[in-house]
Amino acid sequence: MTQPIIVIIGGGNMARSLLGGLIADGLDPAHLWVADPGEDQRQAVQARFGVRTTSSNEEAARLADILVLAVKPQILREVALELAVVVQDRQPLVVSIAAGIRSIDLDRWLGGGVALVRTMPNTPALVQTGATALYARPEVNLGQRSQAESVMRAVGLTLWVEEESLMDSVTALSGSGPAYFFLVMEALERAAVAQGLPEPISRLLTLQTALGAAKMAMESEEDLSILRSRVTSRGGTTERAIEVLKDGGLEGLFAMALDAAQARSEELANILGED
């Protein structure tokens, strides 16, 4: 089966993560192109991955079976308008990883009627452990959905949402989520240091405990509350700590935090989608 030509517009961290994952999955580097205006960026990508590079977005897009838009949301409109004629002529599958840009706006900038998949990866994709939600516009067929999923699965878990409005909730949960866990880990580490544990020990125990808890949850089919209850012996230390967290309103704080992030995601989409 012939491998598709995948063109990535933008050579930043997410693009490099995708390149590494795709090549590890067996895609021939000769089928990968990266377009970026920075010469240093292009040379670094070419040296590391052996892919082809160019400074011209249009030149690369004319070759694309799959066109991945991996530029900052603030410049996506400009890039899309530049590529509209090529996209209308070539009709590639377009995969956007730009946060906050609604597919209806990107489709309009690209000339309309585009086979377009909007995705929301998170930063752990940089170490191939990301979580990516995908939304497909009606023009995307089943084969193209499979292609888009294969591209994003190169950097971690993928799942589909059938209503684009849910992408704001995805942004609030998994897009912003790594920062929530970093904050919790920071707080645990500092509390342990305050009790007298050396900082290197506190940090390592915090990180390994977070990793272990996540791994246990990923490998279990049971509800998180069940897993938590098994660690929480009646009358023990964990129960006492959980009581403090609940009495302090932790669950309500997280609900408020996600509501705030979701609202901000909607606001930014409105701003970025303006003509």
Q: How many CB atoms lie within 10 A of CB 66?
A: 21
To which H or E segment does residue 11 belong?
none
Give backbone dihedrals phi and psi of 190, rounded to 5 degrees, phi first: -65, -40
Chain-centre distance of CA 38, in angstroms?
A: 23
Return d(Cα 256, Cα 77) in angstroms, integer. 32
Q: In 3-state terms, what secondary structure has residue 103?
A: helix
The encoded tokens of residue 49 equal: 């991955």
Query: Which residues in 137-206 belong to E strands, given as ranges?
Result: 156-160
Q: Where in the chain is the domain with CATH 1.10.3730.10?
A: 175-268
**Superfamily of the domain at 6-167:** NAD(P)-binding Rossmann-like Domain (3.40.50.720)
Residues of the chain with CATH 3.40.50.720: 6-167
Quick: pLDDT tens for 233-262.
999 999 999 999 999 999 999 999 999 999
Residues of the chain with pLDDT below 50 are none
Question: pLDDT digits over 9-25, tens only?
Answer: 999 999 999 999 999 99
Distance CA 56, CA 54 (A): 5
Check residue 115 and give its pLDDT: 98
Fold of domain 175-268: ProC C-terminal domain-like fold (1.10.3730)
The SS3 of residue 112 is coil
Say how far apart CA 117 and CA 31 lie, in whole Å. 20
pLDDT of residue 274: 77
**What's the confidence (pLDDT) of residue 275?**
64
